[in-house]
Amino acid sequence: MAGGQASAGDLLHLVRSGRATTRGALQQMTGLSRATVGQRLDRLFRAGWLREGQAGPFDKSASPLGGRPSIRLEFDDAHAVVLAADLDTRHARVALLSLAGEVLAEHTGSLLVEEGPEAVLGELGGWFADLLKQTGTHADRVCGIGLAVPGPVDSDTGRVVQPPIMPGWDRYDIRGRLRRAFAEQAGGASDVPVLVDNDANLMAYGEQRTGYPDCSAFALIKVSTGIGAGVVVDGAVYRGIDGGAGDIGHIRVPEGADALCKCGSYGCLAAVASGRAVAQRLTEAGVPATSGSDVRELLAAGHPEAVRLARDAGRRVGEVLATVVTLLNPGVLMIAGDLAGTPFLTGVRELLYQRALPRSTARLEVVTSRLGERAGLMGAGALVVEHLYAPERVEERLLALGL
């Protein structure tokens, strides 16, 4: 960015991040001349992405004669909206969000992931259309769609790869189908950007950005019907080589040697400590339950057997997390999902602090979710915004607009 090479996208990034919010500050940060800054800002104003706020203190960098009142530059987060969806195994949640992450409308309903991508994504398209109609929002204002799914995702293609609990979804063209559903049912553009990522990744991204923006190493463990983890390092989701990072539910544990996992292997952590595993044990004990959400309801009611089994599951997960914490040395470890209540958290803490190196846990915060069931939606929306307003993409979009 130095040496007068800053683009309009770079200027927008500086404004959005709060690092430079006046013309004079942009000149100082980039080394651009006043005229060049003005020209590049003009492109952003014409696109509707920037606006002028109230005048602030005198900006002495703008004039050698004492300056003039500085006009604060602001990202106009009202010029477009984002659609976000968080898909679980038995239900889904969708929302219409402002570019600042404000929930403008929201809907939750039953939706079985096992019904396959064609039906499920088509249903989401209908829900999107209802949100736009409910708020009187024209589909042309939607700048992108974010989708969280309960499986590993190749972020380059947006396709899930060998998902253990998503039968029929392996390498399916999710982006293309969701675009078609949006166009056919909501009247939106057939080329709207669609971003897909793992649900734990997006939950971690949403929680870190919202509640722990200064934490440079953040880990979230989602324990629902399955078990997954999301890791945010230096403000970015860590996905691994092909989206497989964080799949801790399929780490083998000695206690599960005879337990068959949904992935087809024996001994996975998810086979002994997930919401599905706890539900299975409750059913064997005469308490009917089929999923993590059923277990959550029993825990909320204080059912003693559910409490006991949840704490035991927490201990098993805590033993695995001792290795995770030693490897990553995070500042925050967040427990989220259907089982993220006191009994499970107590079990996690018991084994985590017993097995992990004291140095690894000395500055560690072990917490539960702040955003709750909205975490995935917030992360999906933020992912779309950060993608569309990244400096290099801003230049592409401005050129496409003829600016």
Buried b (16+ CB within 10 A) or exposed e, 171-185: ebebbebbbebbbeb
Query: For position 65, what pLDDT does the model report?
Result: 46
Predicted local distance difference test score (pLDDT) of residue 69: 66
Burial 67-99, CB ≥16 within 10 A → b, else e: eeebbbbebebeebbbbbbbbbbbbbbbbbbbb
Please indicate whether the domains covering 8-75 and 81-200+377-400 agree at the CATH topology level: no
Residue 359: which residues within 8 A CB-CB, separation 6 or more?
A: none
CATH of 81-200+377-400, one of 3.30.420.40, 1.10.3720.10, 3.40.50.2000, 3.90.1300.10: 3.30.420.40
Predicted pLDDT of residue 158 = 93
Say how many Å lie between the first and final Cα of the chain, rounded.
21
Architecture of the CATH domain 8-75? Orthogonal Bundle (1.10)
Q: What is the length of the chain?
A: 403
Domain ranges of the chain: 8-75, 81-200+377-400, 212-371
Mean pLDDT by 10 residues, the chain (403 residues): 77 95 94 94 96 68 55 94 95 96 96 95 97 97 97 91 91 96 94 96 97 96 93 95 90 86 90 93 93 92 95 95 95 95 94 92 94 96 97 94 93
9 to 337, 352, 394: CA distances (angstroms): 37, 44, 5
Q: Any residues with CB less than 8 A from the CB of 243 and at least 6 apart, and which?
A: 152, 153, 154, 155, 161, 197, 198
Kindly give the interhelix angle for 34-47 and 8-17, rounded to the nearest 10 degrees: 80
Q: Of 127, 138, 141, 136, give the one whose Cα is nearest residue 95.
A: 127
pLDDT at 81: 98
The domain defined by 212-371 folds into Nucleotidyltransferase; domain 5 (3.30.420)
